[in-house]
Amino acid sequence: TVVAAVVGLVVLAGIGGGVYALTQDRADDRAGSAQEDTGERGAPGEGAADAATDGASGISLPVLEGWTGASGEAGAQVTTRPYPCPGSPELTCVRSGAFSMPAQAVGLTEKTARATAEADIEANTEEAYGGGTYGKITSQEEVAAKAVTVAGQRGYLVRWKVETASGVEGYVQSLAFPSPASPELMVLVRFGLDDHPKAPKPTVLDQIPRAIQKAELGTGPGREV
């Protein structure tokens, strides 16, 4: 069932702080709910107004104040307001985003949370900040690697700081943990966060994992908040 659901993945699994992940139809649907960016670092994200549900993974991501979210049968996402990508203005990026999916959606079959997060971080980094959206990555450095508890499950996260040819710096984080609804399923949450005055503070990279909750499998396909 999970494998079949992955085919209909709502989010593009490779997206971090970079290219906006919704399809055009869904982007149009949710445009009216987007809140204005305050332009002040850290202003968004002080509280959770709602939740975005990843049905296959059995979790919900918190939709922080000033963010928007989208639910799906096999993926969910929460993002700040979109803006033109620095390296490709015709594309749309976000200052910060978190995107969940079953780990197997991106071909990861590792059995532990740590192995899954460590196996994903390089691909996550390249797809979030590499290529045409920000220019090539000029440097990367691991700034955190630690065990965490997510929705009552023992998980692990790896966080890198990156610099790009366009001058944009940012953080990329891969978080993995067993699904609280189906422990044999490994869940992956990819994060991207620009190091920019209009982006939330880096503390959001710890805040969101703490606020992830268990949800019933199969709930909320296509639901948006």
- Class of residue 120 by CB neighbours under 10 A (exposed 0-12, middle 13-18, buried 19+): buried
What mean pLDDT value characterizes the chain? Answer: 78
% of the chain beyond a pLDDT of 90: 55
- 2-214 has which CATH code? 3.40.1000.10
> What's the rounded mean pLDDT across residues 123-128?
89
Task: State pTM to two decimals.
Answer: 0.80
Q: Please write the tens of the pLDDT for every residue from 134-160.
A: 878 999 999 999 999 999 999 999 999
> What's the rounded mean pLDDT across residues 102-119?
95
Q: What is the pLDDT of residue 1?
A: 33
When pLDDT is cut at 50, 70 and 90, the band that residue 41 belongs to is very low
| Greater model confidence, 58 or 26 | 58
Residue 32 clears pLDDT 50, i.e. is over it: no
**Hey, how many other C-beta atoms are within 10 angstroms of the C-beta on 32?**
6
Q: What is the pLDDT of residue 17?
A: 45
When pLDDT is cut at 50, 70 and 90, the band that residue 39 belongs to is very low
| Residue extents of the structural domains in the chain | 2-214
% of the chain beyond a pLDDT of 70: 74
| Greater model confidence, 9 or 75 | 75
